[in-house]
Copies of this chain bind each other. A is one copy, B any other.
């Protein structure tokens, strides 16, 4: 066997990936092969091909997205805010190195510019080449890749974007500041005066503290705010939350007419029903 990081192990003649980020729960995936494995200046980047989920992006030993279900997360973080904006032209995506959010945003012909700020260029390279089920091998000329720190990038912006999508990883290590009040305040400034933002706000089952704090920050900074849910099978807890903030436009999904966008999860029914929350989330 080639020399792989410790989260890849051989067992009974099979390769297995075991996620190493949780103390009390270990999930192991049987692999067909390791497709890509390299250390970037930021993190360890790996693409593997698994039996149950197809190809998967692994950062520092933790599954980020898979060919089987990556579209659910990416469609929900992208289509909900963009379809709620009546006239979106310029979109900023912070994070989203798998390129799935940019791919979904590019389905809107009225968009003129999609800036994608990702700190780790190697993630984008790996996903464009080896995870096209998620990235779609994005070659739309409206998409500008900017390989820099999203936190610093947004701090200098004012009145520039119609929609900002914060597609961060979990709030540990470098991504922790992407959940801070100051960051959301900078997002608020970077938006045009009728802008809309969205961020992933973690699992309502396992990270109620993060969800609650995010809701308070966004309710404080925006006239309108709301949390919506989606199923993300490969994230712990299955149920995932997103929180939206809007400066002017009310969050009224029932007034939006969803166009055919060649989606696999998102549709008119999902847009109106995703804001219906379980009793324990209210």
Contact = CB atoms under 8 A, between A and B. Distances in A.
Interface residues of A, number: 43
Interface string A1-39: 000000000000000100000111111111000000000
Instruction: Give the dominant DSSP class at A's interface.
Output: loop
Contacts of A28: 25-28
A238 interface: yes
Interface stretch (A105-113, A152-160, A273-281): A273-281
Contact of A264 (B23, B236, B278): B278
Nearest to A32: B24
Copies of this protein in the assembly total 2
A237 B50 CA distance: 15
Interface in A111-132: none
Interface in A46-70: 50-52, 68-69
Interface string A164-197: 0000000000000000000000000000000000
A280 B282 CA distance: 28
A280 B50 CA distance: 22
A19 to B, nearest CB: 10
Contacts of A279: 263-267, 270
25 contacts: A16-B26, A23-B30, A24-B29, A24-B30, A24-B50, A26-B26, A52-B206, A72-B278, A205-B233, A229-B231, A231-B238, A233-B236, A233-B237, A235-B238, A263-B279, A265-B279, A266-B278, A267-B278, A267-B279, A267-B282, A269-B276, A269-B277, A272-B276, A273-B273, A273-B276
